[in-house]
Chains A and B, each alone.
Chain A
């Protein structure tokens, strides 16, 4: 039923058998944790502690702990929020859109990308709450029936749209990710040796028995969730961009924002996926599953989306000049040549110029280089949000209110700490759940058996039966027998 590109090579290399796949993927979670995992997990925990303490301090004394002021009401907080929300987008794109487009290569990467999405949205949500002046009433923008009579939320406000967008995004992503995990959890359950593991994996496997009926439902649910998720890829970041686009601040008030933000989100998301997977495939021994072909494909997407955001940057400049609005014109000139010029040119370099290196095949095939580039992309995208938010606000209409913004140590700790929050969860994920969808990947490998059959028949066709007898010791394996 599926079309296989004659050009594309094998999606899984090394002639893996079904059993090999099971062993390979479950190795990190069935053995004792490696030293590397412990080191990574400890570092993440330290940063998590930093995040907890800095956030707690803010909650105790007030937003005054940050460097914000009367003119710049958002800076690191919303920059981080948009950054993390953007990161999440690659996960949804890979699992939903690529599923609908039947891009089989997504199968080795979608699990970790989806996990990344969920943890990134958690980080983003933390900023929504902590940036509020009164976080203890953070639930007020949710349209709950309340004791205040007819008091309702303001549906005109993009922040209310955000509430819907992000909560939907988080719940759909979580369900999608979990549904995809069920067959794999069942596999681990079946392989479990201790009672405890059996119980917990059994609990989360929800009675999966591998029957064709369960498979049928699994496929159906995946497809439905993919269909639900697909618009979210576009809508969530569009809505986030409307926080800015619907305002009248010069530099924010721009109709190009929704597509430009979505492209930027995918760009940064793939940057983060690359960061995680280039290391992950090495450390977890999954090079045969996440091949250079995979990296190559992702690099192409990075290059494409990077160029798209670059185009958006230039378009903004043109529109500002063309509009004839002096405030718009000043806002963009100020971005590039004002006091925060360094942030702007960091953004330009990292997002528009740097990804162009991926025109070179070497660059797309060299893991260490890709890793470096993925970091560059993430730095660039963080600065993009910083540039949009801070340079637009700090000099707007009335020059009397123009000020400079500088973060405090607390804000820097929260930013660094949010990576701790992210990696803390990611390390737990790596330790307790399979990072590659075993069940799906088993459907796309060419097993030794089938390969040799192919070879056998082709030889048979060309040379006759006598020479085709050497490969007769193959064992049949079923997809979920293990």
Chain B
């Protein structure tokens, strides 16, 4: 703490932080209460924030953590493009342009308002949410068929929605001319504007009470305290650089594979992310803009490393990023980006979760170690059903059941089921009856997707599995987009990947006949032709009686499944989270007959067998492994490794059997035996699913095994 901070009243600083956070929350409450849009009210896909005059975040409601990136970018862009003397009290700007205001994608529309006190610009506030349509070639704003950004949507690069308290009629007319659900969309914008009005009023009241000088001082103190505390937290991670590769699949046109290359360096309280080596941008909708990338990058810091530290601009001061221009992670016009956050963004999220977990597992701080986690499934499994019903009424259903994939396993507990993506901390799935009432469909089932969570000492959370048939629509069209279809989400620390997500359409069915006869309609009774849809596929015809099936994958596992408490596995079987066969072959648990009682002795034998058979199918690792440091001190690294340090040397060893893997300065994976299997086969063997990739490059699952005992130390996916 500096002398200056000593002199300010820290109690007042904390009270003001609470008051500012309350304002951001209140803006959110206004959005929920005044919006009718289920994306806002039920899925809680929105955010609100308050910023300093330069756009630095003071308080952020954080319903969607990654909106923090676009939020500050919007203010920065307005400041850079609008002369200061043309920004007046009573102005509000509209922003949804990934290329200038950093939006995650154009349907995320933000309203940004400057706040004046005694004629001086003293702060900004914003409210932003996902609205149902923004024009462009695809209803709903996700445009897998777009080759450039011009066809994707109408974009507002931070222009005036309101000036001096007068709402622009030009914007209204522009929206009427371009958006499919213009009046409904405009109602949403009204609600965002209402939220900023409340924010403006409250911030002005707060400044009036504290005085402008104190307001500024305490905002600075808070930012500085968060920055300093986060730096201290980061300094408890090992100072080193780790690198990793992640792959984006299918750009909407072609089933290509794209590479994201990331080097993460921890350096004196700063985290540097260098994406040099990442593929150039592509002509499909998977590229992400720089503004959104900041939101992606800060999310794992907010949710894993520092969930207990007040979030504000101080966080960004601890983060540096190198984003090569015109690449997947820093898109430039005209390359499209309408699903950039959900494609490249989600993959980067998984990559950063894995990398940060690896570093966190090695910290000597127990809080940090325990907050490592496996990646979420981190795919929002999109499905849009659109058309006209039999009475001629147009409908667009973005099924928010897309947020039903599994969460990542934690160090203390299994991952959350139906968690959605990491960034959606307040995620909500639709109510079956409300969705049926609102849209012309009837659900046939919605259950957890058994075996979908990645196996591990702690399991990944399960995704959901649902099906519907149309109700009162002879012919409609379904557009699907899953970012995680062929390449499974990895586990960490020896945990296995979760399953991927996909879609099927069953045509020529007996559903109409079954229903007419009041017979059950379920997986066993439905007959017809079953076809797998592609991970991304637009405008698939859905006729009366057809059945659309969507199954969503799980999160990654954490720790070798052979170390999971057999009683927990028995509970999983009893509770139908895991099939009995998977419990036996993947978790190595033996039961007494058909019961749920664990045969302890047989389980030990079976687990030893599985370890042996893993090794028998693996190629050996480096032959010249060092010897174990003599009289070294031992420190656990996650659940799989031990770092043994003596006076002259340090080495990574297997936590199960003590076998030395590699010198601490090298990559311990080099000392491991490695087993490679095609991903779809490996996933089938664990009772789950990944779409087989038939074209090159192929997807593999690689197990890094202890050469001594066959323990799984890391299981990764790779594309070759």
Partners in one complex: no
